[in-house]
A = this chain, B = another copy of it.
Amino acid sequence: VPPYDPSYLLVVVDLVGIFVFAISGALVAVRRGFDLFGVLVLAGTTGLGGGFLRDVLIGATPPAALEDWRYLTVPLVAGLLTFVFHPTVGRMERVIDVFDAFGLSLFCVTGALKAVEYGLGPIPAALMGMVTGIGGGMVRDVLAGRPPVVFNSNLYATPALLGAAVAVGLDATSLPLGVVVIAGAGVCLVLRLLAMVLDWRAPLPHGPANV
């Protein structure tokens, strides 16, 4: 096992992302009529699922989040808050989408940098960054019994992939970690917000899909 001592900055950034993602998972659970347990599990899997997927794929098991009470407490709190205040939280969906963009931006960078630390090359590391960013939402949607919204929304995964690629590229230079994180996350954040404002979408297939 390679030594993994994440800087304090990355941990804080991670926890904020987990909190926002957990809220989005908990909201979906409330709307499906799941009970408190279902809300907490969907909060947890949405907040932590992307990182778990990455950790299992790069062989970093058990996932660090499982051993760190902060990573377990944050989705629990997010789930409880959503459970209690969901009418208010639900009305703030636009605000949550903005926070979600922050979460995505942070996850794609921390995910990619962790993959680099575990010895992956630049392209797989950028892919792992994207998986970290979008994986939790995909697990949320599968558990909620719907196709992943990321397959059919305004641009979501592409900003994550590009932000992760920027972070991986800059990480190979002598720039300080803070700059790498801010640049990568910034690229993802700006692109994601633009995609939301301008409803940028990936192209759809042309012509009838003959079945």
Which residues on the B side are within 8 Å of A6 (C-beta)? Answer: none
From A15-23, A178-186, A199-207, the one touching the partner chain is A199-207
Please tell me if the beta carbons of B56 and A86 are within 8 angstroms of each other in the complex. Answer: no
Query: In this assembly, does A138 line the interface, its C-beta being within 8 Å of a C-beta of chain B?
Result: yes
Please tell me if the beta carbons of A127 and B66 are within 8 angstroms of each other in the complex. Answer: yes
- Count residues of chain A with CB under 8 A from any CB of chain B: 62
CA distance A12 to B58 in the complex (A): 24
Please tell me if the beta carbons of B67 and A35 are within 8 angstroms of each other in the complex. Answer: no
Q: Mark A69-113, 1 if CB is under 8 A from B, else 0.
A: 100100000000001001100110000000000000000000000
Using known A-B contacts A37-B157, A57-B62, A120-B67, determine if residue A144 contacts B147 with beta carbons closer than 8 Å: yes
* Choice from B42, B52, B209 contacting A151 with Cβ under 8 Å: B42
Please tell me if the beta carbons of A152 and B38 are within 8 angstroms of each other in the complex. Answer: yes
Please tell me if the beta carbons of A209 and B30 are within 8 angstroms of each other in the complex. Answer: yes
Which residues on the B side are within 8 Å of A143 (C-beta)? Answer: 138, 142, 147-148, 151
Interface residues of A in 16-36 (CB under 8 A from B): 29-36
Which residues on the B side are within 8 Å of A204 (C-beta)? Answer: 33, 35-36
Which residues on the B side are within 8 Å of A205 (C-beta)? Answer: 30, 36, 39, 83, 86
CA distance A83 to B202 in the complex (A): 12
Which residues on the B side are within 8 Å of A148 (C-beta)? Answer: 38, 143
Please tell me if the beta carbons of B61 and A203 are within 8 angstroms of each other in the complex. Answer: no
Which residues on the B side are within 8 Å of A66 (C-beta)? Answer: 57, 120, 124, 127-128
Instruction: Give 29 CB contacts A-B under 8 Å.
Output: A30-B209, A31-B211, A32-B151, A33-B152, A34-B152, A35-B201, A35-B204, A36-B204, A36-B205, A37-B202, A38-B202, A56-B61, A57-B63, A58-B61, A61-B61, A66-B127, A66-B128, A67-B124, A86-B207, A87-B207, A90-B209, A90-B211, A91-B210, A138-B143, A143-B147, A143-B148, A144-B147, A145-B145, A145-B147
* In the complex, the 8 A-B pairs of residues with the closest C-beta atoms, listed nearest first: A38-B151, A59-B61, A35-B202, A34-B151, A36-B202, A145-B147, A66-B124, A31-B209
